[in-house]
């Protein structure tokens, strides 16, 4: 296990792939100490190998499990002398399809990971964050948290929740010296784009995106925005030009945005 040795530190969930992995690599490259946490232990081992064992600690973490959180934060604190510069609540899951095709179990899974997982993380990490001058929480939301996304209804609802939690806690924690921000990406080239209405489903969200010719941004862009979210003065950080355009449209042209989304629906089976 690595030791922080006076460096700034970031605790990352969903670190085995996608935005979490790219962010871990970027922060480590900029001399930060990184905590790598995910349910994918093989993926974590590969990321740890890439950034160097002396630059990180890692452990399996199911963000739905508060005992897992307590153990992970304890491990991280032992490596960083009780400090945490940034908590990056990044782990997220989704299901893509018509609302009536989603099972109750799948809806529970999406809500538990995307909302309860973030809340669990803030609760577990708060003591370390309070003891670290200039600390910050960065929560991964989504452009789907700006305007409700069809065929992603429950996923979208969770990202609205993350957005609201971020805004509330940024105010609430202002008198204890902790900033709270969010990363709000457009479609990023990560495994979550392969979400279907169920595990192993033939219909994937990525197929629809390609058919519609929509932009998909590289994961490195999201990692750079995560860096900005960890350092900048804004609350929400949009990743990708389409994310910025959607935020503008949701604010000033919501009717037009709704009609645009309706045209993408296609027929029900």
Picking from 64, 71, 162, the residue whose alpha carbon sits closest to that of residue 113 is: 64
Q: Which residues are catalytic?
A: 155
Structure tokens at 229: 């979210």
pTM for the predicted model, two decimal places: 0.88
Considering all CA atoms of the chain, what is the largest pairwise distance in Å, rounded to the nearest integer? 58
Provide the pLDDT for residue 253: 72
pLDDT confidence of residue 210? 55
CB-based burial, 120-147: b 16+ in 10 Å, e otherwise: bbbebbbebbeebeebbbbbbbbbbbbb
Give pLDDT, residue 146. Answer: 85
Token digits of residue 23? 């962010």
How confident is the model at residue 262, as a pLDDT?
Answer: 74
User: Could you say which residues of the chain have pLDDT below 50?
Assistant: 196, 201-202
Q: Output the six-digit token pair for 167.
A: 């805004």
Check residue 202 and give its pLDDT.
44
pLDDT of residue 124: 98
d(CA 65, CA 44): 18
Please state, in angstroms and rounded to a whole number, the distance separating the CA atoms of residues 76 and 193.
Answer: 30
Residue owning tokens 């093989």: 42
Would you kindly state where each structural domain of the chain is located, as residue ranges?
Answer: 9-262
CB 158 within 8 A of CB 165: no
Question: pLDDT tens-digit profile of 113-160?
Answer: 999 999 999 999 999 999 999 999 999 999 888 888 888 899 999 999
- For helices 117-130 and 153-172, the axis angle rounded to 10 degrees is 20
Is 168 strand, coil or helix?
helix
Q: Domain spanning 9-262: which superfamily? A: NAD(P)-binding Rossmann-like Domain (3.40.50.720)
Q: What is the pLDDT of residue 208?
A: 60
pLDDT at 261: 75
Neighbours of 49 (CB within 10 A): 10
């Amino acid at each position: 296990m690595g030791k922080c040795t006076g460096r700034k530190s970031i605790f990352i969930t969903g670190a085995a792939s996608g935005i979490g992995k790219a962010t871990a690599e970027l922060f480590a490259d900029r001399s930060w100490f990184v905590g790598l946490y995910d349910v994918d232990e093989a993926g974590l081992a590969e990321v740890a190998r890439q950034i160097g064992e002396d630059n990180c600690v890692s452990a399996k973490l199911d963000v739905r499990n508060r005992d897992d959180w307590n153990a992970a934060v304890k491990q991280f604190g032992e490596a960083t002398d009780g400090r945490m510069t940034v908590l990056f609540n990044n782990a997220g899951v989704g299901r893509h399809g018509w609302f009536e095709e989603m099972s109750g179990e799948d809806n529970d899974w999406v809500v538990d990971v995307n909302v309860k997982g973030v809340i669990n993380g803030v609760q577990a990490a708060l003591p370390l964050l309070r003891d670290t001058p200039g600390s910050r929480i960065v929560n991964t939301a989504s452009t789907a948290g700006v305007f409700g996304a069809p065929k992603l209804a429950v996923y979208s609802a969770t990202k609205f929740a993350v957005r609201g939690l971020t805004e509330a806690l940024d105010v609430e924690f202002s008198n204890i010296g902790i900033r709270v921000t969010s990363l709000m990406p457009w479609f990023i080239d990560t495994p979550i784009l392969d979400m279907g209405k169920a595990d192993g489903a033939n219909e994937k969200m990525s197929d629809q995106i390609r058919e519609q010719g929509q932009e998909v941004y590289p994961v490195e862009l999201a990692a750079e925005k995560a860096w900005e979210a960890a350092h900048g003065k804004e609350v929400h950080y949009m990743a990708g030009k389409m994310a910025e355009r959607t935020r503008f449209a949701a604010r000033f042209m919501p009717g037009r945005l709704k009609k645009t989304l309706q045209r993408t629906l296609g027929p029900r089976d």
